[in-house]
Amino acid sequence: MPKIKSSRTKRAPEGFDDIEPTLREFQTKMKDAENDPHEGKRKIEALWPIFRLHHQRSRYVYELYYKREAISKELYEYLLKQGYADANLIAKWKKAGYEKVCCLRCIQPKDTNFGTTCVCRVPRDKLEDGKVIECIHCGCRGCSSGSGASAGSAASRKGKPAAKSDDA
Ligand SMILES: [Zn+2]
Ligand SMILES: [Zn+2]
């Protein structure tokens, strides 16, 4: 887990104050997820909420900068540096066909449960009817582009800029 400074960082770029409450919210939720006793869950499933929060927080930063253009480049780079977002994941989102990728593990050719890509990357119309999508890495229920499926949530994310409202 990236460490977040608890005291106010001296050199945070302008605009940081505006998004800090949301970042703190993510941090709190991550802590809660980590402290979850995991009763009755398999170990990997216990990690899913943490993966999702990680994804959502990166998404939040990504959309602030690339979609909403609400933060400066300086602040964006600061956030990456401080570990508030995953630069590798964001690099994928910028590529056609990878706009909704849930996590980096799911696009690694090895270590997947559906041939060369994770089951959650397979478009809905290519799957048998009624087949339940739930990847083994992060519990993603479908994150392929253009299939109408969305990562980690029942609500469609199409054209919606706010990752914040996207509760898992
Ligand atoms: Zn996925
Ligand atoms: Zn995943």
The 3-state secondary structure of 45-88, one letter per residue: HHHHHHHHHHHHHHHHHHHHHHHCCCCCHHHHHHHHHCCCCCHH
51 C-alpha vs ligand 1 centroid, how far in Å? 11
Quote the CA–CA distance of 120 and 134 in Å, as a whole number: 6
Model pLDDT, residue 5: 55
CB 36 within 8 A of CB 46: yes
Model pLDDT, residue 1: 56
16 C-alpha vs ligand 1 centroid, how far in Å? 30
Closest by Cα among 126, 167, 131 to 150: 167
Closest by Cα among 89, 103, 98, 92 to 146: 98
12 C-alpha vs ligand 2 centroid, how far in Å? 31
Q: Please report, for the chain, the start and end positions of each structural domain, with discontinuous segments joined by +.
A: 16-94, 97-162
Both tokens of residue 76? 């964006």
pTM to 2 decimals?
0.74
Model pLDDT, residue 119: 85
Quote the CA–CA distance of 46 and 123 in Å, as a whole number: 26
Report the chain (168 residues): mean pLDDT per 10 consecutive residues: 56 95 97 84 84 95 97 98 96 94 84 64 83 87 69 39 43
165 C-alpha vs ligand 1 centroid, how far in Å? 19
Q: What is the distance, to the nearest Å, from the Cα of residue 8 to the centroid of all Cα atoms in its chain? A: 25
Model pLDDT, residue 38: 73
6 C-alpha vs ligand 1 centroid, how far in Å? 31
112 C-alpha vs ligand 2 centroid, how far in Å? 10
Both tokens of residue 34? 């980590």
138 C-alpha vs ligand 2 centroid, how far in Å? 5
